[in-house]
Amino acid sequence: MTATGPRNAPDAPDATHAVNAVNVVDVVDVVDVVTLGESMVAFQPSRPGRLADVPSFDRGIGGAESNVACALAAAGHTARWIGRVGADGFGDHLVETIGSYGVDVSRVRRDPDRPTGVYFRTAGDRSGDAHEVAYYRAGSAASAMSVDTVGLDAVRAGRVLHLTGITAALSADCLGLLRELTAARPGRPLVSFDVNHRPRLWTDGDGPRILRELARGADLVFVGEDEAADVWGLDGPDAVRAAIPEPEVLVVKQGAHGATLFHRDRVHGDRVHGDRVHGDRVQEDSVLHVPAPRVDVVAAVGAGDAFAAGFLSATLRGLPARDRLRHGHLTAAAALTVPGDLAVPPTRDHADRLAALDDTAWGRLRLGPGWTQAPAAPEEVRTP
């Protein structure tokens, strides 16, 4: 699947305020979305069982930020993934595979001294007690990303810059890079931040504090309700919003129950600095909950990245809040109904048709394997 440029992805002046703001020198390089982070070669078992018992593995790729870039490119947006990989065969595989989705990988840097990260995992749901994952990413090329080793002009040359908390945990230099990118700067792109807490990466106990700091510096934040409870001890969407009041848009993902969006309109002035707003008149939050459709889950992997991609796609198109959440749910459903992290998203027309359903029809929606390939809505929807 490839995408060579934007298809029906017009500028959206009525979308979130910063989506069209960009401060770059090379205008030709401006894309819809830039993502930055580590992508790794993923080895998935050829059959169920313990890692010790699996005789062979199938090779794939894994990386939250590159997943989002691939999904957005497949949906018709221009997307750039920026990362750092080793000067090795695994690095070649990552760059070639991500590029095959239509993602701009021209700014990926190769490190001759550090390897590309890899990991092995067992089959099945990652949340199960029997699930195993073995990471070999310590000292990887990606952990050497910093303000000095990444081209900041290319990173900021997008209408949206999408980051995750995973990158901040890789090294002190990576954390410094994310702090630079989430700092208030005139003309910065809209900064999207997915908390993406990975407890095994935060060995010093600083994860909760740092992730909250980075989230407060972003314009758009994604966080799971269960994730917020684990990281910050927060109970429910309202508590999450109270702890992270600064972002204009906060999306609290609630799994099969749906997602809740908090949106604060702001007119005039600068971004939030700490707990104060300088020169702005801030309106009260508008709050919207949209239930998720029922999904016949094949594998609960990649859904969070897919949700972010669907929501960002709808944001870039200037769609209303309800449809942004519905597009997030639909793109997540595409990932949930395939075995791997990456799935072919529904076509734009297909997703628009489903997102436009009335509340009753949306509530009856049930999506199973293969639904994204159905030629018409009635053929991929099964109702009880």
* Kind plus residue range of the DSSP H or E element containing 134: strand 133-136
Alpha carbons 366 and 333: distance in angstroms, whole number: 10
Cα-based angle 174, 180, 184 (whole degrees, multiple of 5)? 150
Q: Are strands 57-62 and 40-45 parallel, antiparallel or unpaired?
A: antiparallel
Other CB atoms within 10 A of residue 233 CB: 10
Reply yes or no on whether 296 is catalytic: no
**77, 313 Cβ separation under 8 angstroms:** yes
Helix, coil or strand: residue 25: coil
Point out which residues pair with 266 in neighbouring strands: 282
Helix, coil or strand: residue 141: helix
Tell me the HSE value of 114 on the side-chain side, using a 13 A CA sphere.
Answer: 18
Alpha carbons 350 and 119: distance in angstroms, whole number: 35
- Letter for the amino acid at 19? V
Query: Which segments of the chain are extended strands (E)?
Result: 31-36, 40-45, 57-62, 79-82, 84-86, 109-111, 118-121, 133-136, 158-164, 190-194, 220-224, 249-253, 259-263, 266-267, 272-273, 276-277, 281-282, 286-290, 294-295, 366-367
How would you write 270-310 as a 3-class SS string? CCEECCEECCCEECCCEEEEECCCEECCCCCCCHHHHHHHH
**99, 79 Cβ separation under 8 angstroms:** no
**340, 302 Cβ separation under 8 angstroms:** yes
Select which of 29, 305, 341, 352 is catalytic. Answer: 305
Other CB atoms within 10 A of residue 343 CB: 25
According to DSSP, residue 191 is labeled E
Active site members: 305
